[in-house]
Amino acid sequence: MKTKYWLCKRKEIFFSFDSTTGKRESLHTSDREEAKQIVRAKNDAATQPAINISIAKAYLVGTDPKLAKRTWAFVIQEFCAVKKESTRLRRERAIKSQVFNFIRNKRLVETTAEDFYMVLKSGGVFVHHTLRCLHNLALGMGWILAPVIPPKLWPKIEKKHRRAITFEEHHRIIQAENNAERKLYYELLWEIGSAQTDGANLTAANIDWKNHLLSYHRQKTGELCMLEIGARLESLLKKLSSEGALFPKISALKDKDRAAEFRRRCRILKIEGVSLHSYRYAWASRAKQCGMPERFAQSALGHASLAVHREYAREGVAICPSLENYEEKLVPLHMAEKQLAAAS
């Protein structure tokens, strides 16, 4: 059989010459013996593709005995082993999807891009996100030695559009809701824009009546949210319990049960495209339209990332006030400052 790769030298660096294509590739070494070993390995790979994986496994066992035996089930187990319960439950729900059966018992060293593409084609946005998290975890921990799919070659996905709930839709829901506690719960979400679990878990201890402040830590990120209590929010809070949980029955429910009840109400009213999380989008959009400084709105919603906050507020349109009005306010102020300086 004709030898595929030949050794050649240019200046002090050795190259491999492909006799089929005529292409030269640098071996990045000036040592002849080392270059010969590399070319010999390249020729062996070309003539013995069937035993390449077995040889590679033999070398890998020398550095990490478990490297050649680990499957994606091991990565999944580590991915779900987090302390925060809400995150752990969310990941466990995602991993239960049957599309991950394509790779669940597949060895990491034998996984190809085709295996990943089978998972991606069978799942949606959440599957895409979860698979990428698994891949990055395995790569970062050194359980796979190279990306299964290079970062720039991952398929692009179109996220489902999430919109804010409008005031008209919110008003219709409030009018149709017969449960007093649930009605107040929806009104509170409209006023403070909290996540549904954060709003449901509020207690009287979160309210500082002396300073007129409502504060709580987000369950998801731990970020502190602190809002000044206005007249409308004050009237709402005084309708709630002054001790313990503000929503005793709602706080005892699981998040999926609260979401299901809200969806049922929307389905009856034929309101589509919204969820309890839409109240956060609505709050961010209203804050943007009113001209609230971005740092205040970001702090109120507990967004550590400015990019995330801007995604929430994308539907709001900030209207720039008239420059003429600004000038009318500022010019007299400047004149007064000059007069005061002259007098002193």
121 or 160, which is more confident? 121
The Cα 47–Cα 70 span in angstroms is 28
Q: What are the structure tokens assigned to 76, written together?
A: 């999944």
Q: Indicate whether this model's pTM tops 0.85.
A: no
CB 201 within 8 A of CB 245: yes
Reduced to 3 states, what is the DSSP secondary structure of residue 156? coil
Residue 307 pLDDT > 60, yes or no?
no
The Cα 189–Cα 241 span in angstroms is 17
* Amino acid making up residue 89: L
CB 184 within 8 A of CB 173: no
Position 324 scores a pLDDT of: 64
pLDDT tens digits, 253-264: 988 899 999 999
For the packed helices 180-192 and 278-289, what is the interaxial angle rounded to 10 degrees?
40
Q: What are the structure tokens assigned to 36, written together?
A: 């010969």
Helices (H), the chain: 32-47, 52-63, 72-80, 85-95, 113-122, 125-140, 167-176, 180-192, 196-200, 231-237, 248-251, 255-269, 278-289, 294-301, 306-312, 323-343
Residue 60 pLDDT > 60, yes or no?
no
Mean pLDDT value across residues 156-167: 81
193 or 325, which is more confident? 193
State the CATH class of domain 167-312.
mainly alpha
Burial-class residue 276 by CB neighbours within 10 Å (0-12, 13-18, 19+).
buried
The Cα 330–Cα 334 span in angstroms is 6
The Cα 240–Cα 180 span in angstroms is 10
Q: What is the dihedral of CA 161, 164, 166, 169, to 10 degrees?
A: 70
The Cα 67–Cα 56 span in angstroms is 11
**Domain ranges, ordered by start, for the chain:** 5-47, 72-153, 167-312
Instruction: Report the chain's mean pLDDT, rounded to a whole number.
Output: 83
Position 266 scores a pLDDT of: 93
* Amino acid making up residue 215: S
Given the structure tokens 């219709």, which residue do they identify? 172
pLDDT tens digits, 19-47: 888 888 999 899 999 999 988 888 877 76
Q: What are the structure tokens assigned to 284, written together?
A: 């961010």
Number of Cβ within 10 Å of residue 132's Cβ equals 16
